[in-house]
A and B are shown apart, each in its own frame.
Chain A
Amino acid sequence: MAIQAWRVKDRYYRLIGSRCRKCGAEYFPPVYRCRKCGSADIEDRQMPKEGSILTYTRLHEPLPGFEAQAPFYLAVVRLDNGARVLTQLVDSPEESVRTGARVRATVRRARVDGETGLIVYGYKFIVV
């Protein structure tokens, strides 16, 4: 898992997604082909760090390795370029988490492999 995360660290730390050189559509997570025009002419692109909540849930029983953070909010965020990212929401009081709320990206610890393993960092979002 540590190497899997290392491979995509720029995606995790900097929200590097994809942009279609042909039609300009942007994606996160990255794509191999444009979903709108089908072009394979795709480049890496830094995503905007702001967007709004499309839908959200409060997860009480997360995957193993995330128990310490539970319950926590997950949201589908529509970034300002139209890309949609699944993310945890942090530092966001219950009353602020609403469909349509504005959010911004930050970097946090995503997962820690016990007391001796590697720490994986990645994007999370905060209601602004």
Chain B
Amino acid sequence: MHLMKSSRPSAILGYGAYLPRYRMSTAEIARVWKGGGSGPNAEKAVASMDEDTVTMAIEAANGAMQMAGVSRLGAVFVGTESKPYAVKPTSTMVAQALGQHHTLAADLEFACKAGTEAIQVITGLVGSGMIDAGLAVGMDTAQGRPGDDLEYTAASGGAAFVIGRNGKGAVALIDCSTSYVSDTGDFWRRAHEKYPRHLSRFTGEPAYFHHVETAVRTLLTETGHKPTDFKYAVFHQPNPRFPVEVASRLGFTIEQVKTGLLNPAIGNTYAGSSLIGLAAVLDEAQPGDRVLLASFGSGAGSDAFCIEVLDGIARKRGAGQTVRSLLERNVKVDYSTYSRYRDELHK
């Protein structure tokens, strides 16, 4: 067996998503670099000049804490590939802003799956009884080299989850998960480099599809669940096509995928990508619904989860901002504004 299941059940007690206000159309990027056309996604979410992973994680975490109604955290983990500092934890800044000091704090890095790893680790800490509750954040201000294919999709945003013991008021049970990794260099950023590099088509079959399919098939086989047992399925979304394609290969329908499929509107928020999709699903799921969550991180690996929505969702939902409201609250920017936002304070 490869399933990871905590001895005591752990559950999501609250969650909060965050998207910066600004959107740039990929047609605008194509206009600048190619004279026309567009990218795979229609728009991408762009952080303002004074936003970074720390500020966005604080926003998301405040929403999650408010919904969870928890005052103490035993762990604060931030999964990101866009740490403001190479050395100096993002997680301690987030913990300070939440008033949490007697807590484990760590930054996790695994390209786009660092956020789901944080959920797994905290599920284990809660499930073992080491802590009562912890915070897992997946958040990025992803950057692509100007003109590179990545520039069309690399976006900013993510979500935070407070995970604690299953009990009254819990929003969703984290039933079990599995992880699958291999040494696959599809996408990387060397130390001291500003932008990542990638091996274009290699990022598909041997990287994304192989790892996500293997992780999800392992989860399905070992839990005995069929795709039809899930109301929703959320996959990592580097572009609009990959999650739909992998869903189809695994036997999931577009109906199951569409609620959590945000890439066309916001682009790829990296460590935040599958988690903001999960937040969108929780915004509308009903008690008893089962959710499949599968991340993908280059380098490479995939974490697949089986999540069951609980009664607490009905009472707690609506306390904070929904993903829908974050999507609707947007201002379009042109390439010059985007360049200014990206460069000025992201140094």
B-binding residues in A (CB < 8 A): 9-10, 13-14, 68-69, 90-91, 93, 106-110, 112, 114-115, 119, 121, 124
Contact = CB atoms under 8 A, between A and B. Distances in A.
A121 B93 contact: yes
B49 A68 contact: yes
12 contacts: A10-B99, A13-B93, A69-B49, A106-B59, A108-B50, A108-B51, A108-B55, A109-B51, A109-B55, A114-B347, A119-B54, A119-B84
Contacts, number: 53
Contacts of B345: 68-69, 109, 112
B49 A9 contact: no
Given A14-B97, A91-B21, A109 B50 contact: yes
Nearest to B347: A115
Contacts of A119: 52, 54, 84-85
A90 B47 CA distance: 12
A107 B96 contact: no
Contacts of A90: 48, 50
Contacts of A13: 58, 93, 96-97
Interface residues of B, number: 21
Given A91-B21, A108-B50, A121-B54, A9 B347 contact: no
Q: What 8 pairs between A and B have smallest CB-CB spacing? A: A68-B344, A13-B97, A108-B50, A109-B50, A115-B347, A91-B21, A107-B58, A108-B55
Interface of B: 21, 48-52, 54-55, 58-59, 84-85, 93, 96-97, 99, 331, 340, 344-345, 347
Contacts of A115: 347
Contact of B48 (A91, A107, A114): A91
Contacts of B97: 13-14, 107, 121
A93 B54 CA distance: 24
Contacts of A10: 96, 99
Contacts of B331: 93
Nearest to A117: B347
Contact of A107 (B55, B84, B99, B340): B55
Given A68-B340, A107-B59, A108-B55, 20 more contacts: A9-B96, A10-B96, A13-B97, A69-B344, A69-B345, A90-B48, A106-B59, A107-B54, A107-B55, A107-B97, A108-B48, A108-B51, A109-B49, A109-B50, A109-B51, A109-B52, A109-B55, A109-B345, A112-B347, A121-B97
Contact of A69 (B21, B50, B55, B85): B50
A75 B273 CA distance: 35
Contacts of A9: 96
Contacts of B347: 112, 114-115
A121 B93 CA distance: 9
A124 B340 CA distance: 19
A111 B125 CA distance: 36
A69 to B, nearest CB: 6
A90 B48 CA distance: 9
Contacts of B21: 91
A73 to B, nearest CB: 13
A121 B345 CA distance: 12
Nearest to B344: A68
A5 B52 CA distance: 18
Which interface residue of A10, A106, A119 has the most chain B CB atoms within 10 A? A119
Which interface residue of B59, B93, B345 has the most chain A CB atoms within 10 A? B345
Contacts of B54: 107, 119, 121
Contacts of A14: 97, 99
Contacts of A91: 21, 48
A13 B99 CA distance: 9
Nearest to B85: A119
A14 B49 CA distance: 21
Nearest to A12: B97
